[in-house]
Amino acid sequence: MENQEITDVIGNPAAPYLNGLATSNALGTQVYAVTHPSLPNYLALAGGSTFGITDDCTTCYVSAQNLADQIEAGGKTWKAYLEGMPSPCFVGDSYPYMQKHNPWIYFNDIRTNATRCAADVVPYSQLSSDLANNTVPNFVWITPDMCNDMHDCSIATGDAWLKQQVPAILNSAAYKNGGALFITWDEGNTYAACCTVATGGRVATIVMSPLGKTNFQSSVQETLYSLLRTVEDSWNLPRLGDAGCSCTTTMREYFQ
């Protein structure tokens, strides 16, 4: 999701579904985005670094290892589902799809490998059939379009989208058989900071899992790098970049 401080969404009556998820599952109350604007945060989640990128550039490609590489090397599968993306491995903007919210297309070893890219960087419309057929990969990334992510449309619009989409995930075998669903925001709208590497605002992060705690709130200071580190640690993968920083914690407290 996009561009909201935790105080904008948690407790907001315009987001009843999201607040219900936060109340009945687990909520991170001290999670911080890395920086501003969008793209560096997305790259941080996918690659453990902002790679020196400070704007929403569209041709600032990166030659670096990323989480997708690690997942494949570990013998697991991944796929990114991008709402509004016109076709698999599409490069560029096609509003309401915007490339800046798709970190995977920025990595050279994904974008320039046509077969790999077309198989794993796909329109969001593919998710429903993958869930129904129990063919979702081990790691799933979802980016809503510019309206449904709360960037260009209201918090209520984003909440309504979540209400339409999340139940199918929670009812899937992929989730029920030891899965986890994280809902987070790329950045807030302040410069609230923590943990020496994060100055992008304090954002809500909701953690849901059959293995997770319920009616739980964490006050541990964490960052978007913590989410990357949690995925890596759960599969015994090396920690990329600032996911391995001593200032980055693993989000263990959300789970039983």
pLDDT (tens digit, 9 = 90+) per residue, 119-143?
Answer: 999 999 999 999 999 999 999 999 9
- Rounded CA-CA distance 102/26 in Å is 26
pLDDT at position 205 is 98
Q: Are 61 and 106 in contact (CB under 8 A)?
A: yes
User: Model confidence over 68-107: pLDDT tens digits?
Assistant: 999 999 999 999 999 999 999 999 999 999 999 999 999 9
pLDDT at position 51 is 98
Q: Domain-by-domain residue ranges, the chain?
A: 6-254
**Fold that domain 6-254 belongs to in CATH:** Alkaline Phosphatase, subunit A (3.40.720)
- Rounded CA-CA distance 133/54 in Å is 40
- Rounded CA-CA distance 102/124 in Å is 12
